[in-house]
Every structure is written in structure tokens, then in C-alpha cells.
Amino acid sequence: MFADIRAQLQDLIKESLKIFDGITPPGILIDVPADKQHGEFSCNVALQLSRLLRKNPLALAEQLLPRLQELLKTKPVGVKIARIEVKAPGFINFYLTPQGFCGVLYDIFAQKENYGHCGFGENKKFCLEFVSANPTGPLTVAHGRQAAVGDVLVNILQAVGFSAKREYYVNDEGNQINILGRSIQARARQALGQEVDFPQDAYQGEYIRTMAGEFMRRHHIKTLGDLDKQPDAAFRQFGVSYLMDVIKKDLEDFGVHFDIWSYQSKIAHVKAIEALLSEFRKKEFVYDGEGALWFKSTQWGDDKDRVVRKSDGQYTYLTPDIVYHKDKFARGFVRIVNILGPDHHGYIPRIKAAAAALGHSVDDLDILIVQLATIYRNGKEVSMSTRRGEFISLREVMDEVGRDAARFFFLMRQASAHLEFDLELAKKQSPENPVYYIQYAHARIHSIIRKAHEEQRLSPKTRDMKCLKQPEEIDLMRKLGLLPDILIGCARTLEPFSLVRYLQEVAAAFHKFYDTCRVLDEDKELSSERLGLIGAVQVVLANGLKLLGVSAPEKM
RNA sequence: GCGCCUGUAGCUCAGUUGGAUGAGAGCAACAGCCUUCUAAGCUGUGGGUCGCACGUUCGAUUCGUGCCAGGCGCGCCA
């Protein structure tokens, strides 16, 4: 709706520029001003022109104004524009009529749960890989935040017309998994009474003991002799499968459903790796040095070249990862987004170099770094260290504050910024807690609509609205019209956070309206139009919350 | 030492392709608003050298450079 009006105004402005012999500056921008005093749409064309014509922008805008007003009368969009004003230093501002605003409501009534959705993404195939935690322990809050960001990002990308998938890459091989196997074995030996030094680099968490017990139960191991018969691989396989079950359950309870589970062992096996390396050797992307094999990542901007095969013949972490990315591209994704923790930012140049070596643009691969969340309890930071087994798991946070609050809090800041997560605040059912502010607006609306229906047999009006003129009503409609733009913005920047902010603003505008305007009024005409308005608010809140994976309760 | 990120109100943070002679919100503090649709709400008050200094221009919290402060990363680890 707003996009539609904007396009028409854009044409109008282009046409008006004929008075300057059709000089058209490159960046004509029709913006939605932050301050409503500056209208619903604002154009910077005069400021742009001033650079080209070397004239005062304000004077240029004044010159354009009469022509614009004249042209407007001949266009259909004319009835939606109340007036055009020029403001220093040269902005041309357009103000909508109440009728113009009501157009937003008609759009929402027509599109309902699809309001905000669009074809912006042209069905392009995106792959978002996130969490991808090694199966060496339960998910932490860091994974939780990455899961929330990735999940919501995919929701939004899909809403604006991308074909986006969620992918989890399971590192079921390599050093960490070997250590996991040894850790389980060592705990099993201890349980059977053997005195073994628990390895320094092993996983220290209590869950390893539980797993060792479960391993022995499943394999009917009663003695050390039984245990000795188990091959090392058995411990690893058991560990991976056990912990992947734990991880999958955590994610499911958190409301995150992956479309694709990729296993390192299936994609990046020795054969595939060697094929890639010989391909790279042919193209001279790798070379021998100091007994190892090096990838020329500096060719694409990395600080130094990287080892892909160590002098002992083992691959580094990077090597199977290149094969994995080759696999992803081969599956037809035009853009690949990997969501990682901040400890991986040094990894970005080399994996981007790999994408380039695979024949893609470095822009086809995006690495999104999601900063850590610091957990506070009673104002004190809770320390975290996976290695020592002291950490707060996603499970604990979910159990303590609930799924809605957990997801919401993880999304409350830009993904690139550190986040403070106060467990006590998230748990509180009080005004300080921002989750409830939005949900409460939704529940309030539901209650009013139900009451109107049950007690007064009053239904919302959805066309030919004439009564909505109060500033609070206009504000609300203005906000509702922004959802499509907000979602496209989130998709562009890969930041779901502005949707959270937007919903808070919509809720605020509603609460303000609620306080000044009575919906169920003596004036039935007004009442039914207001019912229509709040119905539209409910649609926007519900659509937004659905994208966030947060429930929209009807009662609170 | 090199690289990345961050410095905005007492606290937590918005301000995204440079925009509106008054830089916003929430929390905390204080003062009000329920015989009427959910007070998990609303209204008002106080609170700032946008880390510092230059530069680019009609205009800089936004861009550039240099400092200052904090966080993180720099393995033939994953």
C-alpha cells in the first residue's frame, strides 16, 4: 500500500522534473520520515538537484511545488494526498488524507495472515546454516541466540519471497569427536572401578558420566573385560547419536525446525576431499610447503595461506568445510549464509577465499556473526565455559523463563551486538518485561472484539471508512502500513531485530489509542470502524509474533 | 604487534545507503490516571560536550584519518 503510493509519487516527481529540462539526479529517495510532523513521505530531490545545478535547494523545492500540485490533481493518487509542503533545507513532504491511511486497513483486511508478505525475493534459493554445534554436549545459550536469529531470519526471508532453508551441519568426525569417544570410555572405566586419569582435554561435564552409564546399559557391559571388547568407534558413534538426540530435542522445544541435516561423514569423506584437493592442485590453488599442503587463501585477501593437509597427513578443519560448501553450492543455492559465534570471525577470510576458489563470488557467501549473550542472575554475571562443563544450557534458560521470553530476549538486540540477558527480568510477569507488552496488546484487542461480538452483536467495518481521524487512529494506521518495508529491511540487512522494535512501536501506538479512544462507543458507526482498525492491529501483531516464533495469546 | 567489533541519558540500547536550527525509547527516580472495552496499560517531570581531535560539504551520531578506552581473534586447534 505505502509502496504503491510511493511508486506513484516517484513517477509524479520524475514528471515534474521536466521543468528543469528533465535533469534527473541519480538518487531520488522517497523516505518515510521518522518524525510524523514531516508527513508520511518525504523526498530529497531538491537537495540532490542543488548539487547538480549549484542552486539553493530550498528555492528549487519551491519551484517544483506548484508543478507537483498541478500534476497531482490529474492522478488517481491525488485523493490520497492531503497536501504537499516544502520544509528547510529543501525537503518536499507529502501528507496523506484519512482516506489515504484507510487504504492500509483495506490491504490488511484483504491479505490477513499474508499481510507483509511479498515477492521481493523472487524465489531465490537461500541456505542459512546455523547452530551446527558439535555433538559434544548440550546446546548453550550462545547456540540459543544463534538459533533464534537464524530461525526468525528464515521466517522473514520466506515471507518476503525467498526460498530459504534452515540447515544444520553435523561435525560427526574429527578431533572433537575422538575426544568425546575417549571421554565416554574413561568415565565408563571409572564406573567399573578402574582408576584412570581423566584426560585433561576431555569433556568434563556430568553428562558424560550419564552417557557412559547409558552406553554400558545398551551394550550389556558389566565388567572391564566387556568394555575392552568395544572398539573405539563404538564410543564415538554412540556419543554422536546420543548427543544429537539431545540437541534435536532442545531445538524442537525451542521451536526451531531444520529443513536439512548435513553430516560431515557423508559429504566430506576422504574421497571427496582428495578429489577437491587434486582439482585445486590443477588450478594451482594449493601448493606443498614444510611437509604440508597449503591453500592459497591470500589470493582472495586472507592474511596468510592456510594448511589443508598437515605434515602428519591429517586434514585441518578447513578442508572438509570447503568440500561442504562446494556441496551446498552444488545444491543450487545462490546465496549461502552461515551464522557463527564471535570466536569464528578470524575464519571468515579463509572460507570466503574458499568460496571464490570454488568459482563463486565472495558475496555469495555471507558470514553472520552473532555476538554472545551474557546471562545475569540477580544482577550477577553467570560465567560460562564449555571446557570445564560450567555453562548455562539453552535448556535451563528455556525451562526457567519459557520459550516466548527466551526467543524474544535473544532477538531484542542487534545480532551483531552483545546482549545482556537477565533471567530474573525475563521471568517477571511485570511491566518491566518487554515480551508481555506486545502480547498484552494482542490479548486486549481480542478481548474487545469478543465483547463487541457477544454483547453488542457488532462486527468490524472493513470498507468505506470515514470516522477515523483522531491523531491516535492516524498514528496507528501509519505504523501498520510500515510492516512490508520493515520485513524487506530485515531481509536486506539480515537483521531480524528491527521487526522486534517495530512490534513494540505498534503495541505502543495501540496502547496509546486504547487509552484515548473508546472502541465500544454509543456511536455504532464509529465503534464498528474502530473494531476494524483494532482488527487490523491484531493481524499485524499476530503476523509479526508468528515470524518471531513467539505466541500471540488471546487472554493474559 | 596485526586484524575485527564496540564507545550515545544513572542502567540497557535505537538512530542502515550522510538529512529536518529540540539526538530518541525502555528501565530506574519523582508526580498523576481504574463506578466505563484487560492498570501486564496510559500521561507528565528531571536527565546528554553522541569517547576525543581534525578532515570531507549545503548538512556528520552516521563517511575518512589520528588518538583514547573496552571486548574478541590471530595454531600444521575445531
- What CATH number does the domain containing A10 carry? 3.30.1360.70
Could you tell me how many residues make up chain A? 556
Q: Is residue A457 part of a domain?
A: yes
- Would you state the cell numbers that stand for residue A426, as one nine-digit string? 525475563
Q: Both A301 and A319 in a single domain?
A: yes
Nearest CA among A474, A497, A396 for reference residue A140: A396
Q: Smallest CA–C1' separation from A517: which nucleotide?
A: B37
Q: Smallest CA–C1' separation from A43: which nucleotide?
A: B19
Q: Both A437 and A510 in a single domain?
A: yes
Q: How many domains does chain A have?
A: 4
Q: Both A194 and A341 in a single domain?
A: no
What's the average model confidence in pLDDT over A284-292?
A: 93
What's the average model confidence in pLDDT over A352-377?
A: 88
Q: Is residue A499 part of a domain?
A: yes
Tell me the pLDDT tens digit for each residue of A311-363: 999 999 999 999 999 999 999 999 999 999 888 888 888 999 999 999 998 88
Q: Is residue A161 part of a domain?
A: yes
- Would you state the cell numbers that stand for residue A220, as one nine-digit string? 550389556
Q: Both A83 and A8 in a single domain?
A: yes
The predicted pLDDT at position A146 comes to 92
Q: Smallest CA–C1' separation from A439: which nucleotide?
A: B40
pTM: predicted TM-score of the whole model, two decimal places: 0.93
Using the predicted structure, report yes or no on whether residue A253 has a pLDDT greater than 60. Answer: yes
| pLDDT-above-90 percentage for chain A | 57
Q: Is residue A86 part of a domain?
A: yes
Q: How confident is the model at residue A28 (pLDDT cuts 50, 70, 90)?
A: low
A554 versus A60: the higher-pLDDT residue is: A554
Q: Both A201 and A348 in a single domain?
A: no
Q: Smallest CA–C1' separation from A371: which nucleotide?
A: B5
Nearest CA among A409, A425, A345, A373 for reference residue A152: A409
Distance, CA of A288 to C1' of B51, in Å: 48
A420 versus A378: the higher-pLDDT residue is: A420
Q: How far is the C-alpha of A109 from the C-alpha of A105, rounded, in Å?
A: 6
Using the predicted structure, report yes or no on whether residue A389 has a pLDDT greater than 50. Answer: no
Distance, CA of A80 to C1' of B11, in Å: 44
Distance, CA of A342 to C1' of B68, in Å: 25
User: Chain-wide mean pLDDT for chain A?
Assistant: 89
Q: Both A150 and A260 in a single domain?
A: yes
Q: Smallest CA–C1' separation from A341: which nucleotide?
A: B72
Residue A119, Cβ density class (10 Å: 0-12 exposed, 13-18 middle, ≥19 buried): exposed
Q: Both A187 and A297 in a single domain?
A: no
Using the predicted structure, report yes or no on whether residue A187 has a pLDDT greater than 80. Answer: yes
Distance, CA of A89 to C1' of B59, in Å: 9
Distance, CA of A146 to C1' of B49, in Å: 38
Type of residue numbered A380: K
Q: How far is the C-alpha of A467 from the C-alpha of A531, rounded, in Å?
A: 12
Using the predicted structure, report yes or no on whether residue A386 has a pLDDT greater than 50. Answer: no
**What's the ipTM?**
0.90
Distance, CA of A214 to C1' of B65, in Å: 62
Radius of gyration of chain A (CA): 29
Q: How far is the C-alpha of A41 from the C-alpha of A39, rounded, in Å?
A: 6
Distance, CA of A61 to C1' of B53, in Å: 37
B17 closest protein residue (CA to C1'): A27
Q: Smallest CA–C1' separation from A492: which nucleotide?
A: B16
Q: Both A41 and A159 in a single domain?
A: no
Do A473 and A515 form a contact (C-beta atoms < 8 A)? no
The predicted pLDDT at position A25 comes to 63
Q: Both A440 and A538 in a single domain?
A: yes
Last residue within a domain, chosen from A369, A391, A421: A369
Nucleotides of chain B in contact with protein CB (under 7 A) are: 2-6, 12-17, 19-21, 25-28, 36-43, 58, 72-78
B38 closest protein residue (CA to C1'): A444
Lowest mean pLDDT among A417-426, A494-503, A512-521: A417-426
Q: Both A146 and A234 in a single domain?
A: no
- The alpha-helical segments, DSSP class H, found in A316-388 are 318-330, 348-357
Last residue within a domain, chosen from A254, A274, A297: A254
Q: Which helix (H) or strand (E) holds A367?
A: strand A365-369
Nearest CA among A456, A388, A375, A311 for reference residue A145: A375
A427 versus A498: the higher-pLDDT residue is: A498
Q: Both A139 and A197 in a single domain?
A: no
Distance, CA of A509 to C1' of B45, in Å: 22
A73 versus A538: the higher-pLDDT residue is: A538
Q: Which residues pair with A422 in a beta bridge?
A: A376
A159 contacts: CB under 8 Å, gap ≥ 6: A116, A117, A118, A487, A547
Q: Smallest CA–C1' separation from A436: which nucleotide?
A: B40
Q: Smallest CA–C1' separation from A33: which nucleotide?
A: B20
Enclosing domain of residue A240: 175-254
A49 versus A429: the higher-pLDDT residue is: A49
Q: Both A276 and A225 in a single domain?
A: no
Distance, CA of A417 to C1' of B54, in Å: 29
A435 versus A244: the higher-pLDDT residue is: A244
Distance, CA of A187 to C1' of B22, in Å: 67
